[in-house]
Structure 1
Amino acid sequence: MGWADAADCVLEPQGEGRVVAVADVHSFRLEDGREVRLAGIERAGTDGVSGRAALSAIAGGRDVTLHGEADMPDRYGRQAAFVFVTGSEHSVQSELLRRGEVLVSTDIADKNCAAALAAAEATARQGKLGIWGETTAIKNAESPGDILAAIGQFTLVEGRVLSVRQAGATTYLNFGRNWTQDFAATISRRVIPAFENAGLGPKSLENRRIRVRGVVSSRGGPRIELFRVGQIEVLGGK
Structure 2
Amino acid sequence: MATRTTSKLSDPRVRARVRASLAPWVLVAIGLLVPGTVLAASPPPSSVAAPCLPAPLARGHVAEVTAAGDLVLDDGSVLRPAGLAGGGAGTAVSWRAALAGRVAGREIAFAAGPARDRYGRRAALIASPGAAAAEEGATLQQALLREGLAVARPEDAVLACLPAWLAAEAEARRDRRGLWRQLPLAAANIAALRAQQGRFTIVAGHILDIGKTARVDYLNFGRVWRQDMTGRVEAEGRASLTARGLASADLAGRHVRLRGTLFEAGGPAITVRRAEQIELAGNAVYASPGDAMENGAEGRARRTGDE
Q: Is TM-score (shorter-chain normalized) higher than 0.5? A: yes
CA distance in 2 between partners of 1:189 and 1:28 (Å): 35
1:159 aligns with 2:184: no
- Structure 2: any 5+ residue segments left out of the alignment? 1-50, 284-288, 290-307
CA distance in 2, matches of 1:109, 1:83: 11
Measured in 2, the distance between the counterparts of 1:190 and 1:42 equals 21
Look at both structures and tell me which one has the larger radius of gyration over its CA atoms.
2
Partner in structure 2 of residue 127 of structure 1: 175
2:275 to 215, 229, 233: 229
- Please state if 1:204 is matched with 2:250: yes
Q: Which amino acid aligns with 1:105?
A: R
Q: Which residue number in structure 2 is paired with residue 3 of structure 1?
A: none
C-alpha distance 156-86 of structure 1, shift in aligned 2 (>3 A): closer
Establish whether residue 76 from structure 1 lines up as the match of residue 122 from structure 2: no
1:38 alignment counterpart: 81
Q: State the one-letter code of the partner of 1:178.
A: V
Q: Equivalent residues in 2 for 1:13-92 (5 A)?
A: 13=56, 15-24=58-67, 26-46=69-89, 48-68=92-112, 70-88=113-131, 89=136, 90-92=138-140
Structure 1 pair 172/193, CA: closer, same or farther in 2 (3 Å)? same
Shift of 1:73: 2.1
Corresponding residue of 2:223: 177
Partner Cα distance (1:42, 1:54) in 2: 15
Q: Percent identity?
A: 34
Distance change in 2, residues 1:211/1:50 (3 Å): closer
**2: CA distance between counterparts of 1:213 and 1:44?**
14
Change in 2 beyond 3 A, CA 1:59/1:229: same
* Number of residue pairs the alignment of both structures matches: 229
Cα 1:227–1:72 change in 2 (3 A) is same
User: Structure 1: which 5+ residue stretches go unaligned?
Assistant: 1-7
Runs (4 or more) in structure 1 with deviation over 6 Å come to: none
SS at match of 1:17: strand
1:86 positional shift: 4.6
Q: Deviations over 1:31-70 (max 9, x none)?
A: 11110001121133446354211111121111101114x2
Partners in 2 of 1:109 and 1:67 — Cα distance? 9
TM-score, normalization by structure 1? 0.88
Q: RMSD of the alignment, in Å?
A: 2.2
Assess if the C-alpha contact under 8 Å between 1:66 and 1:81 holds in 2: yes
More strand per residue: 1 or 2? Answer: 1
Higher mean Cα deviation, 103-112 or 151-160? 103-112
CA-to-aligned-CA distance 1:74-112 (integer Å, 9 cap, x gap):
221111110125533431111111111111011145654
CA distance in 2 between partners of 1:103 and 1:211 (Å): 12
Offset of residue 204 of structure 1? 0.8
The AA in structure 2 aligned to 1:223 is: A
The one-letter amino acid paired with 1:116 is A
Q: Which AA in structure 2 matches 1:55?
A: L
Deviation track 1:191-227 (CA, whole Å, cap 9, x = no partner) reads 3132133143111111110110000000110000000
Deviation larger for 37-46 or 116-125: 37-46
With over 3 angstroms needed to count, the CA separation of the structure-2 counterparts of 1:72 and 1:109, relative to structure 1, is closer
Letter of the 1:67 counterpart = A
The amino acid that maps onto 2:99 is L
Pair 1:115-2:163 in alignment: yes
TM-score (norm 2): 0.69
Deviations 1:162-213 (A, max 9, x none): 1100134111000001000000000113431321331431111111101100
**Distance (whole Å) between structure 2 residues aligned to residue 184 and residue 66 of structure 1:** 37
